[in-house]
Amino acid sequence: MTVTFPWMRRSLSLFVPVAVLLLLLASLWIIYQGERSYRTEQQHAAQVQAEILAASATAALDFEDRATAQESANALRANPQVKMAGIYDVRGDRFAGYARTEALPARLPGISAPDGASVQAIVPVMRSGTKIGTVYLAGAIDPLTRRLSRYAMIALLAGMTSLVLGVLGFGQAALRRVNGTLAEANRELQFQMEERGRTEEQLRQAQKMQSLGQLTGGIAHDFNNLLAVIQGSADILQRPGLSEEKRARFTKAIIDASTQGALLTGQLLAFARRQPLRPETLDVNHRILTMLVMIQPMLGPNIALSTHLEPALLPVDVDPGQFEAALLNIVVNARDAMPEGGEITIRTGNATGDDAGERERAVAVTVEDNGRGIAPDQLEHVFEPFFTTKTVGKGTGLGLSQVYGFAAQSGGEARIGSEVGKGTTLTLLLPASDKPLPVAPEVRQEVTAKEQAGRILLVEDNEAVGNLAESLLGELGHEVIRARSGPEALRLADNGAQFDIVFSDVVMPGMTGLELADKLKKRRPLLPIILTTGYSEGIVAAGARDFPLVRKPYRMETLAGAVDEALASHRAL
Protein backbone atom coordinates (compact mmCIF):
# COMPACT_ATOMS: atom_id res chain seq x y z
CA MET A 1 0.00 0.00 0.00
CA THR A 2 1.28 3.38 -0.90
CA VAL A 3 1.42 5.80 1.95
CA THR A 4 0.04 9.19 1.00
CA PHE A 5 0.05 12.08 3.38
CA PRO A 6 -2.61 14.76 3.14
CA TRP A 7 -0.04 17.46 2.40
CA MET A 8 1.37 15.27 -0.36
CA ARG A 9 -2.02 14.93 -2.00
CA ARG A 10 -2.62 18.61 -1.60
CA SER A 11 0.73 19.52 -3.12
CA LEU A 12 0.08 17.08 -5.99
CA SER A 13 -3.23 18.68 -6.77
CA LEU A 14 -1.51 22.08 -6.64
CA PHE A 15 1.37 20.95 -8.79
CA VAL A 16 -0.31 21.19 -12.18
CA PRO A 17 -1.74 24.71 -11.92
CA VAL A 18 1.46 25.96 -10.32
CA ALA A 19 3.55 24.35 -13.05
CA VAL A 20 1.36 25.84 -15.77
CA LEU A 21 1.55 29.24 -14.12
CA LEU A 22 5.33 29.02 -13.81
CA LEU A 23 5.58 27.92 -17.42
CA LEU A 24 3.50 30.84 -18.59
CA LEU A 25 5.50 33.22 -16.42
CA ALA A 26 8.75 31.78 -17.81
CA SER A 27 7.45 32.19 -21.36
CA LEU A 28 6.40 35.76 -20.66
CA TRP A 29 9.78 36.43 -19.12
CA ILE A 30 11.56 34.98 -22.16
CA ILE A 31 9.40 37.09 -24.46
CA TYR A 32 9.99 40.16 -22.32
CA GLN A 33 13.74 39.52 -22.35
CA GLY A 34 13.65 38.91 -26.10
CA GLU A 35 11.77 42.12 -26.60
CA ARG A 36 14.19 44.02 -24.43
CA SER A 37 17.24 42.62 -26.15
CA TYR A 38 15.61 43.31 -29.52
CA ARG A 39 15.11 46.95 -28.52
CA THR A 40 18.66 47.11 -27.20
CA GLU A 41 19.95 45.64 -30.44
CA GLN A 42 17.90 48.03 -32.53
CA GLN A 43 19.10 50.88 -30.35
CA HIS A 44 22.64 49.69 -30.75
CA ALA A 45 22.21 49.29 -34.51
CA ALA A 46 20.84 52.85 -34.77
CA GLN A 47 23.79 54.09 -32.70
CA VAL A 48 26.27 52.28 -34.95
CA GLN A 49 24.60 53.55 -38.12
CA ALA A 50 24.64 57.06 -36.72
CA GLU A 51 28.31 56.73 -35.83
CA ILE A 52 29.14 55.44 -39.32
CA LEU A 53 27.23 58.32 -40.86
CA ALA A 54 28.93 60.79 -38.54
CA ALA A 55 32.34 59.45 -39.52
CA SER A 56 31.63 59.37 -43.24
CA ALA A 57 30.05 62.82 -43.27
CA THR A 58 32.68 64.54 -41.13
CA ALA A 59 34.65 66.03 -44.01
CA ALA A 60 31.52 66.92 -45.99
CA LEU A 61 30.09 68.77 -43.02
CA ASP A 62 33.45 70.30 -42.24
CA PHE A 63 33.86 71.62 -45.75
CA GLU A 64 30.15 72.34 -46.13
CA ASP A 65 29.77 69.95 -49.00
CA ARG A 66 26.03 69.27 -48.80
CA ALA A 67 26.00 67.03 -51.84
CA THR A 68 28.60 64.68 -50.43
CA ALA A 69 26.92 64.74 -47.02
CA GLN A 70 23.61 63.95 -48.69
CA GLU A 71 25.28 61.06 -50.50
CA SER A 72 26.56 59.68 -47.21
CA ALA A 73 23.11 59.98 -45.71
CA ASN A 74 21.49 58.44 -48.79
CA ALA A 75 23.75 55.43 -48.42
CA LEU A 76 21.57 54.48 -45.45
CA ARG A 77 18.41 54.42 -47.56
CA ALA A 78 19.24 50.86 -48.52
CA ASN A 79 18.56 49.91 -44.88
CA PRO A 80 14.79 49.89 -44.43
CA GLN A 81 15.26 49.94 -40.68
CA VAL A 82 16.51 53.56 -40.86
CA LYS A 83 13.52 55.83 -40.93
CA MET A 84 15.31 59.10 -40.68
CA ALA A 85 18.94 60.19 -40.91
CA GLY A 86 19.90 63.81 -40.48
CA ILE A 87 23.21 65.64 -40.37
CA TYR A 88 23.07 68.89 -38.42
CA ASP A 89 25.80 71.50 -38.17
CA VAL A 90 27.33 72.66 -34.95
CA ARG A 91 24.50 75.14 -34.38
CA GLY A 92 21.86 72.44 -34.79
CA ASP A 93 20.66 73.50 -38.24
CA ARG A 94 19.78 70.85 -40.79
CA PHE A 95 22.68 70.30 -43.17
CA ALA A 96 21.77 67.15 -45.05
CA GLY A 97 19.79 63.96 -44.60
CA TYR A 98 16.56 62.29 -45.49
CA ALA A 99 13.39 61.04 -43.90
CA ARG A 100 11.44 58.13 -45.24
CA THR A 101 7.93 59.27 -44.44
CA GLU A 102 7.71 62.64 -42.79
CA ALA A 103 9.95 65.64 -43.34
CA LEU A 104 13.36 65.82 -41.71
CA PRO A 105 13.16 68.42 -38.94
CA ALA A 106 14.98 71.66 -39.78
CA ARG A 107 16.44 71.80 -36.28
CA LEU A 108 18.15 68.97 -34.47
CA PRO A 109 15.41 67.18 -32.60
CA GLY A 110 15.98 65.96 -29.08
CA ILE A 111 15.57 62.36 -28.10
CA SER A 112 11.88 61.90 -27.56
CA ALA A 113 10.52 59.37 -25.12
CA PRO A 114 10.65 55.88 -26.59
CA ASP A 115 7.30 55.32 -28.28
CA GLY A 116 7.63 51.67 -29.18
CA ALA A 117 7.69 52.43 -32.88
CA SER A 118 11.20 53.79 -33.23
CA VAL A 119 14.63 53.99 -31.69
CA GLN A 120 16.69 57.13 -31.84
CA ALA A 121 20.38 57.87 -31.79
CA ILE A 122 22.22 61.19 -31.60
CA VAL A 123 25.94 61.12 -32.31
CA PRO A 124 28.27 64.12 -32.43
CA VAL A 125 30.35 64.64 -35.56
CA MET A 126 33.91 65.11 -34.40
CA ARG A 127 36.91 66.45 -36.20
CA SER A 128 40.15 65.93 -34.32
CA GLY A 129 38.53 66.34 -30.91
CA THR A 130 36.27 69.20 -31.99
CA LYS A 131 32.53 68.80 -32.35
CA ILE A 132 31.52 70.16 -35.70
CA GLY A 133 27.98 68.84 -35.90
CA THR A 134 25.51 66.13 -34.96
CA VAL A 135 23.98 63.13 -36.62
CA TYR A 136 20.42 62.27 -35.73
CA LEU A 137 19.11 58.85 -36.66
CA ALA A 138 15.71 57.27 -36.11
CA GLY A 139 15.41 53.53 -36.59
CA ALA A 140 12.18 51.66 -37.13
CA ILE A 141 10.97 49.01 -34.77
CA ASP A 142 9.16 46.05 -36.26
CA PRO A 143 5.45 46.22 -35.76
CA LEU A 144 4.14 44.31 -32.76
CA THR A 145 2.54 41.56 -34.85
CA ARG A 146 5.84 40.86 -36.57
CA ARG A 147 7.73 40.88 -33.28
CA LEU A 148 5.16 38.59 -31.67
CA SER A 149 5.38 36.15 -34.55
CA ARG A 150 8.99 35.58 -33.52
CA TYR A 151 7.77 34.34 -30.15
CA ALA A 152 5.13 32.11 -31.68
CA MET A 153 7.28 29.02 -31.19
CA ILE A 154 7.79 29.75 -27.51
CA ALA A 155 4.09 30.45 -27.09
CA LEU A 156 3.28 27.22 -28.94
CA LEU A 157 5.68 25.22 -26.77
CA ALA A 158 4.33 26.74 -23.58
CA GLY A 159 0.78 26.11 -24.75
CA MET A 160 1.49 22.49 -25.66
CA THR A 161 3.26 21.83 -22.36
CA SER A 162 0.43 23.46 -20.43
CA LEU A 163 -1.99 21.27 -22.32
CA VAL A 164 -0.01 18.13 -21.51
CA LEU A 165 0.24 19.17 -17.86
CA GLY A 166 -3.45 19.90 -17.82
CA VAL A 167 -4.28 16.49 -19.24
CA LEU A 168 -1.93 14.88 -16.72
CA GLY A 169 -3.50 16.81 -13.89
CA PHE A 170 -6.97 15.85 -15.06
CA GLY A 171 -5.93 12.20 -15.29
CA GLN A 172 -4.41 12.33 -11.87
CA ALA A 173 -7.51 13.90 -10.40
CA ALA A 174 -9.64 11.22 -12.02
CA LEU A 175 -7.29 8.54 -10.68
CA ARG A 176 -7.49 10.08 -7.24
CA ARG A 177 -11.28 10.01 -7.39
CA VAL A 178 -11.21 6.34 -8.41
CA ASN A 179 -8.70 5.65 -5.64
CA GLY A 180 -10.99 7.31 -3.16
CA THR A 181 -13.90 5.15 -4.31
CA LEU A 182 -11.73 2.05 -4.12
CA ALA A 183 -10.52 2.93 -0.64
CA GLU A 184 -14.13 3.46 0.42
CA ALA A 185 -15.11 0.09 -1.04
CA ASN A 186 -12.12 -1.51 0.65
CA ARG A 187 -13.07 -0.03 4.00
CA GLU A 188 -16.63 -1.29 3.54
CA LEU A 189 -15.35 -4.76 2.64
CA GLN A 190 -13.00 -4.81 5.61
CA PHE A 191 -15.83 -3.76 7.89
CA GLN A 192 -18.02 -6.53 6.54
CA MET A 193 -15.21 -9.04 6.96
CA GLU A 194 -14.73 -7.98 10.55
CA GLU A 195 -18.46 -8.18 11.11
CA ARG A 196 -18.50 -11.66 9.65
CA GLY A 197 -15.49 -12.62 11.74
CA ARG A 198 -17.29 -11.43 14.87
CA THR A 199 -20.40 -13.34 13.92
CA GLU A 200 -18.39 -16.49 13.27
CA GLU A 201 -16.59 -16.04 16.53
CA GLN A 202 -19.93 -15.76 18.32
CA LEU A 203 -21.15 -18.87 16.52
CA ARG A 204 -18.02 -20.76 17.51
CA GLN A 205 -18.44 -19.59 21.05
CA ALA A 206 -22.03 -20.83 21.05
CA GLN A 207 -20.95 -24.18 19.59
CA LYS A 208 -18.22 -24.41 22.17
CA MET A 209 -20.67 -23.75 24.95
CA GLN A 210 -22.98 -26.36 23.51
CA SER A 211 -20.17 -28.88 23.28
CA LEU A 212 -19.02 -28.02 26.73
CA GLY A 213 -22.56 -28.56 28.00
CA GLN A 214 -22.66 -31.92 26.29
CA LEU A 215 -19.30 -32.87 27.67
CA THR A 216 -19.96 -31.82 31.22
CA GLY A 217 -23.37 -33.47 31.05
CA GLY A 218 -21.75 -36.70 29.86
CA ILE A 219 -19.05 -36.56 32.48
CA ALA A 220 -21.57 -35.85 35.20
CA HIS A 221 -23.67 -38.77 34.06
CA ASP A 222 -20.72 -41.15 33.98
CA PHE A 223 -19.41 -39.99 37.29
CA ASN A 224 -22.87 -40.14 38.87
CA ASN A 225 -23.15 -43.74 37.80
CA LEU A 226 -19.75 -44.52 39.23
CA LEU A 227 -20.45 -42.58 42.42
CA ALA A 228 -23.79 -44.37 42.77
CA VAL A 229 -21.97 -47.67 42.63
CA ILE A 230 -19.32 -46.54 45.09
CA GLN A 231 -21.78 -44.92 47.48
CA GLY A 232 -24.20 -47.86 47.38
CA SER A 233 -21.42 -50.39 47.89
CA ALA A 234 -19.93 -48.38 50.72
CA ASP A 235 -23.38 -48.14 52.40
CA ILE A 236 -23.80 -51.88 52.19
CA LEU A 237 -20.27 -52.44 53.51
CA GLN A 238 -21.11 -50.34 56.57
CA ARG A 239 -23.87 -52.76 57.58
CA PRO A 240 -22.88 -55.12 60.36
CA GLY A 241 -22.75 -58.82 59.90
CA LEU A 242 -22.10 -58.80 56.22
CA SER A 243 -20.99 -62.12 54.74
CA GLU A 244 -17.40 -62.35 53.50
CA GLU A 245 -18.63 -63.05 49.95
CA LYS A 246 -20.72 -59.89 49.87
CA ARG A 247 -17.94 -57.85 51.41
CA ALA A 248 -15.58 -58.98 48.68
CA ARG A 249 -18.20 -58.30 45.92
CA PHE A 250 -19.01 -54.77 47.03
CA THR A 251 -15.37 -53.94 47.67
CA LYS A 252 -14.61 -55.05 44.12
CA ALA A 253 -17.52 -52.96 42.83
CA ILE A 254 -16.00 -49.89 44.45
CA ILE A 255 -12.57 -50.67 43.01
CA ASP A 256 -14.00 -51.21 39.51
CA ALA A 257 -16.01 -47.98 39.62
CA SER A 258 -12.94 -46.08 40.72
CA THR A 259 -10.93 -47.65 37.88
CA GLN A 260 -13.51 -46.49 35.37
CA GLY A 261 -13.53 -43.02 36.90
CA ALA A 262 -9.75 -42.88 36.56
CA LEU A 263 -10.06 -43.92 32.92
CA LEU A 264 -12.55 -41.18 32.35
CA THR A 265 -10.38 -38.49 33.84
CA GLY A 266 -7.45 -39.94 31.90
CA GLN A 267 -9.45 -39.40 28.73
CA LEU A 268 -10.24 -35.86 29.70
CA LEU A 269 -6.58 -35.17 30.32
CA ALA A 270 -5.61 -36.76 27.04
CA PHE A 271 -8.20 -34.62 25.33
CA ALA A 272 -6.72 -31.55 26.94
CA ARG A 273 -3.44 -32.70 25.32
CA ARG A 274 -1.71 -32.40 28.63
CA GLN A 275 -0.89 -36.01 29.06
CA PRO A 276 2.24 -36.99 27.20
CA LEU A 277 2.37 -40.44 25.65
CA ARG A 278 4.75 -42.85 27.31
CA PRO A 279 5.25 -45.50 24.66
CA GLU A 280 6.48 -48.92 25.68
CA THR A 281 7.19 -51.91 23.55
CA LEU A 282 4.38 -54.28 24.38
CA ASP A 283 2.54 -57.37 23.33
CA VAL A 284 -0.98 -56.32 22.41
CA ASN A 285 -2.38 -59.83 22.91
CA HIS A 286 -1.10 -59.92 26.45
CA ARG A 287 -2.64 -56.53 27.18
CA ILE A 288 -5.99 -57.56 25.78
CA LEU A 289 -6.01 -60.76 27.81
CA THR A 290 -5.27 -58.91 31.03
CA MET A 291 -7.99 -56.38 30.18
CA LEU A 292 -10.64 -59.04 29.63
CA VAL A 293 -10.99 -59.30 33.39
CA MET A 294 -12.07 -55.69 33.43
CA ILE A 295 -14.03 -55.68 30.19
CA GLN A 296 -16.20 -58.69 30.80
CA PRO A 297 -18.09 -57.33 33.85
CA MET A 298 -18.68 -54.05 31.95
CA LEU A 299 -20.54 -55.76 29.16
CA GLY A 300 -23.27 -57.29 31.23
CA PRO A 301 -24.98 -60.64 30.77
CA ASN A 302 -26.57 -59.98 27.35
CA ILE A 303 -23.35 -59.44 25.41
CA ALA A 304 -21.05 -62.26 24.42
CA LEU A 305 -17.37 -61.45 24.04
CA SER A 306 -15.03 -63.53 21.93
CA THR A 307 -11.39 -63.00 20.93
CA HIS A 308 -9.37 -64.14 17.94
CA LEU A 309 -5.77 -63.30 18.70
CA GLU A 310 -2.89 -63.86 16.29
CA PRO A 311 -0.28 -65.95 18.14
CA ALA A 312 2.68 -64.54 16.22
CA LEU A 313 1.65 -60.95 16.72
CA LEU A 314 4.36 -58.31 16.29
CA PRO A 315 5.15 -56.04 19.20
CA VAL A 316 4.14 -52.34 19.04
CA ASP A 317 5.40 -49.10 20.64
CA VAL A 318 2.45 -47.49 22.31
CA ASP A 319 1.45 -45.93 25.60
CA PRO A 320 -0.12 -48.89 27.46
CA GLY A 321 -2.52 -46.70 29.43
CA GLN A 322 -3.75 -44.94 26.31
CA PHE A 323 -4.05 -48.24 24.50
CA GLU A 324 -6.21 -49.65 27.26
CA ALA A 325 -8.32 -46.49 27.28
CA ALA A 326 -8.75 -46.67 23.50
CA LEU A 327 -9.76 -50.34 23.56
CA LEU A 328 -12.16 -49.71 26.42
CA ASN A 329 -13.70 -46.80 24.54
CA ILE A 330 -14.22 -48.95 21.47
CA VAL A 331 -15.74 -51.80 23.49
CA VAL A 332 -18.00 -49.44 25.47
CA ASN A 333 -19.21 -47.91 22.20
CA ALA A 334 -19.89 -51.39 20.85
CA ARG A 335 -21.75 -52.29 24.00
CA ASP A 336 -23.82 -49.10 23.84
CA ALA A 337 -24.70 -49.90 20.23
CA MET A 338 -26.35 -53.15 21.39
CA PRO A 339 -28.75 -52.30 24.21
CA GLU A 340 -30.66 -55.54 23.53
CA GLY A 341 -27.49 -57.59 23.57
CA GLY A 342 -25.29 -59.09 20.90
CA GLU A 343 -21.77 -60.17 20.17
CA ILE A 344 -18.47 -58.40 20.39
CA THR A 345 -15.40 -59.87 18.78
CA ILE A 346 -11.87 -58.63 19.39
CA ARG A 347 -9.33 -59.67 16.77
CA THR A 348 -5.64 -59.04 16.41
CA GLY A 349 -3.46 -59.64 13.38
CA ASN A 350 -0.37 -58.56 11.52
CA ALA A 351 -1.16 -56.23 8.65
CA THR A 352 1.05 -55.70 5.62
CA GLY A 353 0.69 -53.95 2.32
CA ASP A 354 -2.50 -51.96 1.85
CA ASP A 355 -3.87 -53.20 5.10
CA ALA A 356 -0.98 -51.62 6.91
CA GLY A 357 -1.75 -48.24 5.41
CA GLU A 358 1.30 -46.06 5.06
CA ARG A 359 3.39 -48.25 7.31
CA GLU A 360 5.44 -51.20 6.26
CA ARG A 361 4.23 -53.49 8.98
CA ALA A 362 1.44 -52.86 11.40
CA VAL A 363 -0.60 -54.57 14.01
CA ALA A 364 -4.36 -54.41 13.55
CA VAL A 365 -6.70 -54.56 16.53
CA THR A 366 -10.30 -54.95 15.36
CA VAL A 367 -13.45 -54.77 17.44
CA GLU A 368 -16.65 -55.96 15.75
CA ASP A 369 -20.20 -55.74 16.98
CA ASN A 370 -23.52 -56.71 15.47
CA GLY A 371 -25.38 -53.71 16.81
CA ARG A 372 -27.39 -50.93 15.21
CA GLY A 373 -24.59 -49.61 13.09
CA ILE A 374 -23.96 -45.97 12.24
CA ALA A 375 -25.58 -44.03 9.42
CA PRO A 376 -23.11 -43.01 6.66
CA ASP A 377 -23.66 -39.27 7.19
CA GLN A 378 -22.73 -39.67 10.85
CA LEU A 379 -19.91 -42.08 10.21
CA GLU A 380 -17.61 -39.38 8.91
CA HIS A 381 -18.05 -37.40 12.14
CA VAL A 382 -17.52 -40.12 14.74
CA PHE A 383 -13.85 -39.28 15.31
CA GLU A 384 -14.55 -35.60 15.91
CA PRO A 385 -14.38 -34.46 19.51
CA PHE A 386 -17.77 -33.96 21.20
CA PHE A 387 -19.59 -35.78 18.42
CA THR A 388 -21.92 -38.31 19.90
CA THR A 389 -24.91 -40.28 18.77
CA LYS A 390 -25.90 -40.77 22.33
CA THR A 391 -28.55 -38.59 23.94
CA VAL A 392 -27.50 -35.78 26.18
CA GLY A 393 -26.23 -37.12 29.47
CA LYS A 394 -25.38 -40.49 27.97
CA GLY A 395 -21.99 -39.84 26.49
CA THR A 396 -19.15 -37.33 26.40
CA GLY A 397 -18.37 -37.55 22.71
CA LEU A 398 -14.77 -37.98 23.71
CA GLY A 399 -14.42 -41.73 23.37
CA LEU A 400 -13.74 -42.20 19.68
CA SER A 401 -11.91 -38.89 19.53
CA GLN A 402 -9.49 -40.36 22.07
CA VAL A 403 -9.18 -43.46 19.89
CA TYR A 404 -8.39 -41.37 16.87
CA GLY A 405 -5.95 -39.13 18.71
CA PHE A 406 -4.17 -42.10 20.29
CA ALA A 407 -3.80 -43.87 16.94
CA ALA A 408 -2.53 -40.75 15.21
CA GLN A 409 -0.12 -39.89 18.02
CA SER A 410 1.23 -43.41 17.97
CA GLY A 411 1.95 -43.16 14.27
CA GLY A 412 -0.97 -45.34 13.28
CA GLU A 413 -4.56 -44.79 12.32
CA ALA A 414 -8.12 -45.65 13.24
CA ARG A 415 -10.59 -46.94 10.66
CA ILE A 416 -14.28 -47.44 11.03
CA GLY A 417 -16.78 -49.28 8.87
CA SER A 418 -20.45 -49.70 9.60
CA GLU A 419 -23.70 -50.89 8.12
CA VAL A 420 -26.96 -49.78 9.64
CA GLY A 421 -28.69 -52.72 11.27
CA LYS A 422 -25.74 -55.07 10.82
CA GLY A 423 -23.03 -53.69 13.02
CA THR A 424 -19.83 -51.72 13.19
CA THR A 425 -16.18 -52.66 12.75
CA LEU A 426 -13.49 -50.45 14.19
CA THR A 427 -9.82 -51.14 13.49
CA LEU A 428 -6.78 -49.71 15.20
CA LEU A 429 -3.69 -49.90 13.04
CA LEU A 430 -0.53 -49.52 15.09
CA PRO A 431 2.95 -49.55 13.59
CA ALA A 432 4.93 -52.62 14.44
CA SER A 433 8.03 -52.08 16.54
CA ASP A 434 11.55 -53.18 15.63
CA LYS A 435 12.45 -53.46 19.26
CA PRO A 436 12.22 -56.78 21.03
CA LEU A 437 9.71 -57.25 23.83
CA PRO A 438 11.18 -56.53 27.23
CA VAL A 439 11.94 -59.49 29.39
CA ALA A 440 8.84 -60.75 31.08
CA PRO A 441 7.70 -58.08 33.55
CA GLU A 442 9.22 -58.81 36.85
CA VAL A 443 6.89 -60.41 39.23
CA ARG A 444 6.10 -57.92 41.90
CA GLN A 445 7.52 -59.02 45.18
CA GLU A 446 5.22 -59.38 48.03
CA VAL A 447 5.25 -56.29 50.02
CA THR A 448 6.96 -56.97 53.28
CA ALA A 449 6.87 -54.39 55.94
CA LYS A 450 10.25 -55.30 57.33
CA GLU A 451 12.21 -54.79 54.16
CA GLN A 452 10.46 -51.75 52.72
CA ALA A 453 9.21 -49.88 55.71
CA GLY A 454 10.31 -46.28 55.97
CA ARG A 455 9.36 -42.93 57.43
CA ILE A 456 7.34 -40.82 55.04
CA LEU A 457 6.58 -37.11 55.29
CA LEU A 458 3.06 -36.84 53.86
CA VAL A 459 2.10 -33.32 52.71
CA GLU A 460 -1.58 -32.96 51.78
CA ASP A 461 -3.94 -30.05 52.38
CA ASN A 462 -7.11 -32.09 51.79
CA GLU A 463 -8.00 -33.86 55.03
CA ALA A 464 -9.91 -36.77 53.47
CA VAL A 465 -7.29 -37.53 50.85
CA GLY A 466 -4.59 -37.11 53.49
CA ASN A 467 -6.33 -39.58 55.83
CA LEU A 468 -6.71 -42.09 52.99
CA ALA A 469 -3.06 -41.76 52.01
CA GLU A 470 -1.99 -42.14 55.61
CA SER A 471 -4.11 -45.28 55.91
CA LEU A 472 -2.75 -46.75 52.67
CA LEU A 473 0.85 -45.99 53.62
CA GLY A 474 0.20 -47.36 57.10
CA GLU A 475 -1.23 -50.52 55.53
CA LEU A 476 1.98 -50.83 53.54
CA GLY A 477 3.89 -50.76 56.78
CA HIS A 478 5.30 -47.27 56.56
CA GLU A 479 5.45 -44.70 59.30
CA VAL A 480 3.77 -41.43 58.38
CA ILE A 481 4.43 -37.86 59.51
CA ARG A 482 1.57 -35.53 58.43
CA ALA A 483 1.98 -31.97 57.26
CA ARG A 484 -0.98 -29.92 55.99
CA SER A 485 0.93 -27.30 54.00
CA GLY A 486 4.31 -26.59 52.44
CA PRO A 487 5.50 -24.25 55.21
CA GLU A 488 4.48 -26.80 57.85
CA ALA A 489 6.50 -29.48 56.06
CA LEU A 490 9.50 -27.15 55.92
CA ARG A 491 9.15 -26.40 59.61
CA LEU A 492 9.10 -30.10 60.43
CA ALA A 493 12.17 -30.66 58.30
CA ASP A 494 14.00 -27.74 59.89
CA ASN A 495 13.07 -28.94 63.38
CA GLY A 496 14.91 -32.16 62.73
CA ALA A 497 12.01 -34.50 61.94
CA GLN A 498 13.35 -37.79 60.65
CA PHE A 499 11.91 -39.12 57.36
CA ASP A 500 13.23 -41.09 54.39
CA ILE A 501 11.01 -39.74 51.63
CA VAL A 502 8.49 -36.99 50.98
CA PHE A 503 5.10 -37.68 49.43
CA SER A 504 3.49 -34.33 48.59
CA ASP A 505 0.43 -33.01 46.84
CA VAL A 506 1.24 -30.47 44.10
CA VAL A 507 -1.69 -28.08 44.18
CA MET A 508 -1.90 -26.52 47.61
CA PRO A 509 -2.70 -23.01 48.79
CA GLY A 510 0.26 -20.86 49.80
CA MET A 511 3.11 -23.04 48.61
CA THR A 512 2.82 -25.56 45.82
CA GLY A 513 4.31 -29.02 46.04
CA LEU A 514 6.85 -28.01 43.42
CA GLU A 515 8.06 -25.03 45.45
CA LEU A 516 8.22 -27.21 48.52
CA ALA A 517 10.20 -29.83 46.61
CA ASP A 518 12.69 -27.19 45.45
CA LYS A 519 13.17 -25.85 48.98
CA LEU A 520 13.58 -29.35 50.44
CA LYS A 521 16.08 -30.26 47.72
CA LYS A 522 18.17 -27.28 48.76
CA ARG A 523 18.22 -28.51 52.34
CA ARG A 524 18.62 -32.21 51.51
CA PRO A 525 19.61 -32.72 47.90
CA LEU A 526 19.43 -36.50 48.08
CA LEU A 527 15.96 -36.66 49.62
CA PRO A 528 13.55 -38.59 47.35
CA ILE A 529 10.39 -36.62 46.72
CA ILE A 530 7.23 -38.09 45.18
CA LEU A 531 4.61 -35.70 43.91
CA THR A 532 0.93 -36.45 43.44
CA THR A 533 -1.77 -34.52 41.65
CA GLY A 534 -4.88 -34.85 39.53
CA TYR A 535 -4.39 -31.55 37.79
CA SER A 536 -3.14 -31.73 34.27
CA GLU A 537 -0.90 -28.65 34.63
CA GLY A 538 0.63 -30.06 37.77
CA ILE A 539 1.35 -33.28 35.94
CA VAL A 540 3.14 -31.47 33.14
CA ALA A 541 5.14 -29.27 35.52
CA ALA A 542 6.21 -32.21 37.69
CA GLY A 543 7.17 -34.23 34.61
CA ALA A 544 9.29 -31.35 33.37
CA ARG A 545 11.16 -31.29 36.68
CA ASP A 546 11.87 -35.02 36.75
CA PHE A 547 10.06 -35.70 39.98
CA PRO A 548 8.37 -39.08 40.18
CA LEU A 549 4.64 -38.55 39.98
CA VAL A 550 1.68 -40.54 41.24
CA ARG A 551 -1.44 -39.51 39.46
CA LYS A 552 -4.65 -39.08 41.45
CA PRO A 553 -6.69 -41.09 41.94
CA TYR A 554 -4.12 -43.73 42.79
CA ARG A 555 -4.41 -47.36 43.64
CA MET A 556 -2.61 -48.91 46.52
CA GLU A 557 -0.27 -50.83 44.21
CA THR A 558 0.75 -47.69 42.37
CA LEU A 559 1.50 -45.91 45.59
CA ALA A 560 3.38 -48.88 46.97
CA GLY A 561 5.48 -49.16 43.80
CA ALA A 562 6.43 -45.51 43.80
CA VAL A 563 7.27 -45.48 47.50
CA ASP A 564 9.27 -48.73 47.27
CA GLU A 565 11.23 -47.41 44.31
CA ALA A 566 12.04 -44.18 46.14
CA LEU A 567 13.03 -46.02 49.29
CA ALA A 568 15.19 -48.42 47.32
CA SER A 569 17.02 -45.61 45.57
CA HIS A 570 17.40 -43.75 48.86
CA ARG A 571 18.86 -46.75 50.59
CA ALA A 572 21.12 -47.61 47.73
CA LEU A 573 22.94 -44.34 48.23
Partner 1 sequence: MRGGRVRRLVIGFGLPLAALTMATMATAQTKPLGSQVKAAFLQKFAAYVNWPPGALGAADDPIQLCIIGRDPFGSEIDDATTSQRIDQHPFVVRRLDGTANAARCNIAFLGGSTRQSAAAMRDALRGKPILTVTDADLGDDRGMVHFVLKDGRVRFHIDDALAARSNLGISARLLSLAISVKPRARIS
Binding site for partner 1 (CB under 8 A): 56, 58-60, 62-65, 68, 89, 91, 127-130
Q: Using the 8-state DSSP alphabet, how is residue 42 labeled? A: H
Instruction: Name every residue whose Cβ is closer than 8 Å to that of residue 320 and which is 6 or more positions away in sequence.
Output: 280, 282, 287
Q: Residue-wise over 182-198: b if at least 16 C-beta within 10 A, else e?
A: eeeeeeeeeeeeeeeee
CB closer to partner 1 out of 57 and 506: 57
CB closer to partner 1 out of 62 and 419: 62
User: What residue type is 190 in one-letter code?
Assistant: Q
Question: What is the per-residue DSSP string for 460-513?
Answer: -S-HHHHHHHHHHHHHTT-EEEEESSHHHHHHHHHTT---SEEEEES--SSS-H
> Could you tell me the smallest distance in angstroms from the CB atom of residue 132 to partner 1?
9
Measure CA 460 to chain center: 43
> Could you tell me the smallest distance in angstroms from the CB atom of residue 127 to partner 1?
5
> Could you tell me the smallest distance in angstroms from the CB atom of residue 110 to partner 1?
22
> Could you tell me the smallest distance in angstroms from the CB atom of residue 109 to partner 1?
21
CB closer to partner 1 out of 50 and 490: 50
Instruction: Name every residue whose Cβ is closer than 8 Å to that of residue 140 and which is 6 or more positions away in sequence.
Output: 80, 81, 82, 83, 117, 118
The dihedral through the CA atoms of 550, 385, 223, 294 has a sign that is negative
CB closer to partner 1 out of 130 and 448: 130
> Could you tell me the smallest distance in angstroms from the CB atom of residue 90 to partner 1?
9
CB closer to partner 1 out of 133 and 412: 133
> Could you tell me the smallest distance in angstroms from the CB atom of residue 20 to partner 1?
59
CB closer to partner 1 out of 127 and 491: 127
> Could you tell me the smallest distance in angstroms from the CB atom of residue 50 to partner 1?
17
Q: Is the omega angle on the peptide bond into residue 553 within 30 degrees of 0, that is, cis? A: yes
Instruction: Name every residue whose Cβ is closer than 8 Å to that of residue 449 and which is 6 or more positions away in sequence.
Output: 476, 477
CB closer to partner 1 out of 72 and 402: 72
Cβ 258 vs Cβ 553: under 8 Å: yes
CB closer to partner 1 out of 54 and 567: 54
CB closer to partner 1 out of 128 and 145: 128
Taking each continuous run of H as one helix and of E as one strand, the counts in the chain are: 16, 16
CB closer to partner 1 out of 90 and 453: 90
> Could you tell me the smallest distance in angstroms from the CB atom of residue 108 to partner 1?
15
CB closer to partner 1 out of 128 and 495: 128
Map residue 182 onto helix, strand or coil: helix
> Could you tell me the smallest distance in angstroms from the CB atom of residue 78 to partner 1?
18
The angle at the Cα of 387, spanning 382 to 392, to the nearest 5 degrees, equals 130
> Could you tell me the smallest distance in angstroms from the CB atom of residue 44 to partner 1?
24
CA distance 397 to 367: 19
Cβ 129 vs Cβ 70: under 8 Å: no
> Could you tell me the smallest distance in angstroms from the CB atom of residue 129 to partner 1?
6
Q: Which residues pair with 418 in a beta bridge?
A: 424
Q: What are the start-end ranges of the E strands in 100-213?
A: 118-127, 130-140
Cβ 521 vs Cβ 527: under 8 Å: yes
Measure CA 516 to chain center: 39
